[in-house]
Amino acid sequence: MGSFSTASDCQRLAGKVALITGAASGIGKATAREFIRNGAKVILADVQDDAGRAFAAGLGPDAAYTRCDVTDDNAGAAGASAPGKLESLDLADFDRVMATNARSAVACLKHAARVMAPRGAGCVLCTGSTAGVLGSDAALPYSLSKAAVVSVVRLAAEELARSGVRVNAISPHIIATPLLVRSLTRMHPGVGEEQLKRMVEVGMSGIRGAVLEVEDVARAAVYLASDEAKYVTGHNLVVDGGFTTSKRSVTAVAK
């Protein structure tokens, strides 16, 4: 195969309704757009009310926005702490990140199961991270919280399979969004933003000529949510260009 189109050209999610959390920005926003393009009706959930409402309006009549906050803290700060040694771990920071990433995933699974299991159908997707697959430079609370997400997905998949409900995870590698680049600047002082962006897009890529984008993660979600994946459950789909097959790290690439 020589080339392929990066745009969806079929209604793979026609007749389905999806609730997407964190849909006002980043991966969630790209996923909502891709779901709409594939024929789904989408409810956008976020804490960024203005951005969420504006995005929903732009998507058209098949999208609606609702505020959803299942944490006690600002989700945007999750995992923002710099990597450090275990002996200096701030347990308050650990609790906050675990609540934002792991507890919120459990809460969503709980309430999704409450609705889907009696109906005998449904699909739940949770967001993991390569940090939870291959711990390296990510802060310990963040890596552990994302590993916990994958574990709870497997447990939930086993339980809910008997009710016809599928549960899967998607673990993307880091993507050079402006927010990520700013975070890396704090973690690697003295390294310029352009170098950090290149570090992510080129130095940490496993596939020559390809750069990981939020749309790649969104298309993985479309597959797992579609009937094409009707026999896939308890799976963690790693979208990383093969990065976790090596022992490279952010620090090593940055040097």
Q: Residue 222: pLDDT above 90?
A: yes
Q: Tens of pLDDT along 21-65? A: 989 988 999 999 999 999 999 999 998 999 999 999 999 999 999
C-alpha torsion angle, residues 48, 178, 127, 200 (rounded to 10):
180
Indicate the pTM of the whole model. Answer: 0.85
The ranges assigned to domains in the chain are 12-69, 75-175+212-239
pLDDT for position 245: 84
Q: Which are the catalytic amino acids?
A: 142
Q: Residue 205: pLDDT above 90?
A: no
Q: Residue 79: pLDDT above 70?
A: no
Q: Residue 6: pLDDT above 50?
A: no
pLDDT for position 69: 74
pLDDT for position 199: 82
Same fold, 12-69 and 75-175+212-239: yes
pLDDT for position 71: 52
Q: How confident is the model at residue 80 (pLDDT cuts 50, 70, 90)?
A: very low
pLDDT for position 1: 45
Q: How confident is the model at residue 236 (pLDDT cuts 50, 70, 90)?
A: very high
* Ranges 75-84, 206-215, 232-241, most confident: 232-241
Q: Residue 75: pLDDT above 50?
A: no
Domain 75-175+212-239 has CATH 3.40.50.720: yes
pLDDT for position 36: 97
Reading the block at residue 189, the tokens are 């002082």
Return d(Cα 142, Cα 138) in angstroms, integer.
Answer: 7
Fold of 12-69: Rossmann fold (3.40.50)
Return d(Cα 124, Cα 61) in angstroms, integer.
Answer: 23
pLDDT for position 76: 33
